[in-house]
Amino acid sequence: MIGNKSVSRMLAAFGLAAFLGVAIYYSYWPDGEPRIAERPLVEVSVPPLAPIQKQGRTAFEENCAACHGENAAGRDGSGPPLIHRIYEPNHHGDQAFFLAAKNGVRQHHWRFGDMPPVDGIEDKEIEHIVAYVRRLQKANGIN
Ranges of residues in the chain whose predicted pLDDT is under 70: 1-3, 7, 10-38
Amino acid sitting at position 39? R
What pLDDT score does 94 carry? 97
What pLDDT score does 16 carry? 56
Cβ atoms 27, 122 nearer than 8 A: no
Cβ atoms 37, 77 nearer than 8 A: yes
What pLDDT score does 118 carry? 97
> What are the CA-CA distances from residue 37 to residues 34, 86, 110, 125 (Å)?
10, 22, 16, 26
pLDDT, tens digit, 9 for 90 and up, residues 122-142: 999 999 999 999 999 999 999
Is CATH 1.10.3080.10 the classification given to domain 51-139?
no
What pLDDT score does 7 carry? 67
Cα–Cα nearest to 46, from 113, 117, 139, 127 = 139
What pLDDT score does 14 carry? 62
Sign for the CA dihedral angle at 31, 77, 87, 106 comes to positive
> What are the CA-CA distances from residue 94 to residues 6, 13, 32, 67 (Å)?
64, 54, 38, 19
